[in-house]
Amino acid sequence: MTTRTIHITIGLILAGTFLLDCLTPLGYQGFLLYAVPIVLTLWLEQAWSAYLAAGLATLLVCAGLVLSPSGVSADADFLNRTLSVALFWVMAVLVNRSRVAAMDRNARQLAALVNSSVDAIISQDLNGVVVSWNGAAERLFGYGPSERIGFHLSTIMAPKQAGEDAEKSRQLLSGEAALPYDTAWLHCDGTVIALSLSRSPIRNQFGFVVGLSTIAHDITAKLEVEASYKHSEVTLQAFFESASLMMGVVEILDDDIRNLSVNRATARFMGTLQEAMRGRTASELGMSRDVVRMWLNHYRLCINGRSPVRFEYEHYDMRGGKVERRSLLATVALINHGASGVVRCSFIVDDVTEWRKAEDLLREAHAMLELRVAERTAELGNATVRARTLAQRLFDVQEAERRAVAQDLHDEIGQALTVLKLNLQQVQRDRQGTEPSLELNESIEISDQLLARVRSLALDLRPSLLDDLGLVPALRWYATRQAERAGWKLQLHLDEAPLILTGSRSIACFRVVQEAMTNIVRHAKASSVSLSLAVVSEEVRVVAQDDGCGFDVAAMRVRAQQGSSLGMLGMEERISLVGGTMTIQSIIGQGTSLIFSVPRTELQQEALSL
């Protein structure tokens, strides 16, 4: 209930009860009606309202003593009225105590609320002197309550704002309404604090203004954020206007698109001004219905999926009397739903015509490069085939020459030396009985040495075992012969199963082992050598190992590529020509392993090349 309603109700109850008392005798029960207004004063702010109601009720009861018609004895009537008056004042005292307790409770709650508030709450008297200062005010301004209470509030106001704050205070003290406003006060260290002030008058129990209450909220961070937002907005607007990309914001209509804001690049591309595009639809700007529908479809995909949509399309510019095709890459995104329910979206369009032309040129160049690479690869392949064919031919010619030289050594020089030895021996026999000739004996010995040397050279050039018995016996004979000459401890692990290899493969395997054994003799300083041959699946695998000094394979390969050492390249080339692979593993101080494999069967490519 409002205060006015309570006042009217109290007046009506008092008047009605008095009228009833004047019309008919009332007992003490009837006088209790006067107690109702006293109870109603609980809802009034004035502390004296209960006593006023009790006083009025007392006056009316006393007046009723004279004006009420006699229906009971005078003594009883006087007693009833006396008891009623006493009850009124007891109730008034109780109501007032209840009000005081409630006010005290409210005051404590208000004090707790004020002290726990995150905003500064300050109260001042009519002279502007501070009378209360909460904890938030202490934290905000840096002054404790003892430093501010009793001092004028204007001492913490910024000089530029003091006049405005004083005028607001006068308006409030005069009863005028004042809305919250922004101002600036000072921290104890002199720092200016931006504040939002809510000020209201403080009234006493009689309704008179006795001071002002000020709630100060620090808006420094808010202003900084707003300034940052404003700066970002200005920066974004500057970027929006100066961007080379076409940008804008549009509204999506049922069958058209309305431009709300576009940048200069968009207007320049469309051949018009920004102001001329703002608020106009795509159709009004001359965009064809097919293009409008295409844009609408992508906007709706964006709206339904709630994610940006990127697409590329061809734009045909027919200005200037000629048709120019432009490739455009567009991205559309949902912004929000406007107040009228119309959907707003943004667009960013990049003219990628030059990129696409560059990509086309790059693709053409790439295709030409691939064609040229293919041609060069084919040429290199043909050159490689020719080189391998030539290398194979050189090896074949070399083997043929070796075979011929070995045959000549064996057949001609060997036979001649044999005849020479026989003749010398015949001369020696003819001179039996005479003193032996030292020169003749030396000649026979020299002829034996020459004959042995010729036979050894013939075997080194082309061992007859390789042609007559095959690869395994030839390797066993050669390795044993080299071990006897060099003093190695030899370990042989040769597969004794019949091995059928083509002549070129057998020769390649033998020559590689021969080169490896020669290198061991010359460089390895080995005491133990092992040679193994095994048939693994469709390959013949040969491993030659020694416990010599070893070498740096990578450095040796570099020297081989520079032409300083051709032995390694020669071995690799021989194995490669017959379709095999070769690996050399060596550790300095621990020895070397040479491993190679050749296929047992003819390769189709090799067969065709031959």
**Span 115-144, pLDDT tens digits:** 778 888 888 888 889 988 888 888 889 999
Closest C-alpha among 322, 324, 261, 316 to residue 286:
316
CB 550 within 8 A of CB 520: no
Average pLDDT of the residues in 518-528: 90
Confidence of residue 32 (pLDDT cuts 50, 70, 90): low
Average pLDDT of the residues in 420-439: 66
3 state SS of 124: strand
Question: What is the residue-wise DSSP string for 10-66?
Answer: HHHHHHHHHHHHHHS---HHHHGGGHHHHHHGGGSS-TTHHHHHHHHHHHHHHHHHH
Phi and psi (nearest 5°) for 227?
-65, -40
Average pLDDT of the residues in 262-280: 90
List pLDDT tens digits, range 457-480.
766 666 666 777 888 888 998 899
Residues 372 and 457 placed together within one structural domain of the fold: yes
Evaluate whether residue 69 is within a structural domain: yes
How many percent of the chain have pLDDT more than 90? 22
Helix (H) / strand (E) element for 197: namely strand 192-203
Evaluate whether residue 196 is within a structural domain: yes
Residues 108 and 173 placed together within one structural domain of the fold: no
More confident residue, 393 or 483: 483
What is the Cα–Cα distance from 27 to 187, expressed in whole angstroms? 69
Using only C-alpha atoms, the chain has a radius of gyration, in whole angstroms, of 61
Residue 43 has pLDDT above 90, yes or no: no
Residue 521 has pLDDT above 80, yes or no: yes
Evaluate whether residue 238 is within a structural domain: no
Evaluate whether residue 420 is within a structural domain: yes
Q: Which of 59-63, 212-216, 306-310, 443-447 has the lowest mean pLDDT?
A: 443-447
496 burial via Cβ count (<10 Å: 0-12, 13-18, 19+)? exposed
Chosen domain end from 326, 351, 376: 351
CB 226 within 8 A of CB 203: no
Confidence of residue 571 (pLDDT cuts 50, 70, 90): confident
Residues 477 and 576 placed together within one structural domain of the fold: yes
pTM of the full structure? 0.41
Which are the contacts of 139, defined by CB distance < 8 A and separation ≥ 6? 120
List pLDDT tens digits, range 337-376.
766 678 999 999 999 988 888 989 999 999 999 999 988 8
Name the most confidently modeled range: 301-310, 320-329, 560-569.
301-310
Chosen domain end from 284, 317, 351: 351
Residue 562 has pLDDT above 80, yes or no: no
Residues 471 and 560 placed together within one structural domain of the fold: yes
Q: Which of 382-396, 461-475, 483-497 has the lowest mean pLDDT?
A: 382-396
List pLDDT tens digits, range 276-296.
999 999 999 888 899 999 999
Confidence of residue 9 (pLDDT cuts 50, 70, 90): confident
Say which CATH number the domain at 592 has.
3.30.565.10
The per-residue pLDDT for 605 is 36
More confident residue, 442 or 147: 147
Evaluate whether residue 381 is within a structural domain: yes
> Considering the chain, what is the average pLDDT of its residues?
81
Residue 50 has pLDDT above 60, yes or no: yes
Confidence of residue 411 (pLDDT cuts 50, 70, 90): low
More confident residue, 273 or 570: 273
Say which CATH number the domain at 175 has.
3.30.450.20
Evaluate whether residue 65 is within a structural domain: yes
Residue 610 has pLDDT above 60, yes or no: no
More confident residue, 466 or 189: 189
CB 466 within 8 A of CB 474: yes
Q: Which amino acid does the sequence have at 308?
A: P
How many percent of the chain have pLDDT more than 70? 79
Residue 596 has pLDDT above 90, yes or no: yes
Q: E-assigned strands of 204-359?
A: 209-218, 246-252, 257-262, 309-317, 324-337, 343-351
Which residue range forms the structural domain that includes residue 263? Answer: 244-351
Q: Which of 83-97, 347-361, 503-517 has the lowest mean pLDDT?
A: 83-97
Residue 486 has pLDDT above 80, yes or no: yes
Residue 41 has pLDDT above 80, yes or no: no
Residues 106 and 122 placed together within one structural domain of the fold: no
Residue 191 has pLDDT above 80, yes or no: yes
Residues 186 and 76 placed together within one structural domain of the fold: no
Q: Which amino acid does the sequence have at 263?
A: N
Name the most confidently modeled range: 228-232, 246-250, 566-570.
246-250
The per-residue pLDDT for 546 is 94
Residue 399 has pLDDT above 80, yes or no: no
Residues 11 and 108 placed together within one structural domain of the fold: yes
Helix, strand, coil tally for the chain in percent (to 5): 60, 20, 20
Pairing status of strand 489-494 against strand 528-536: parallel
The per-residue pLDDT for 533 is 93
Average pLDDT of the residues in 242-262: 90
Residues 540 and 491 placed together within one structural domain of the fold: yes
Evaluate whether residue 233 is within a structural domain: no
More confident residue, 293 or 203: 293
Residue 76 has pLDDT above 80, yes or no: no
Residues 533 and 449 placed together within one structural domain of the fold: no
Confidence of residue 607 (pLDDT cuts 50, 70, 90): very low
Chosen domain end from 174, 196, 224: 224
Residue 383 has pLDDT above 50, yes or no: yes
Residues 212 and 343 placed together within one structural domain of the fold: no
CB 30 within 8 A of CB 21: yes
Residue 20 has pLDDT above 80, yes or no: no
Closest C-alpha among 86, 31, 32 to residue 63:
31
**How many CA atoms within 13 Å lie on the side-chain side of 268?**
12
Residues 188 and 136 placed together within one structural domain of the fold: yes
Evaluate whether residue 356 is within a structural domain: no
Confidence of residue 331 (pLDDT cuts 50, 70, 90): very high
The per-residue pLDDT for 587 is 92
How far is CA 553 from its chain centroid? 45
Residues 289 and 187 placed together within one structural domain of the fold: no
The per-residue pLDDT for 47 is 67
Residue 601 has pLDDT above 50, yes or no: yes
Question: Residue 311 forms beta bridges with which residues?
Answer: 330
Q: How many domains does the chain have?
A: 5
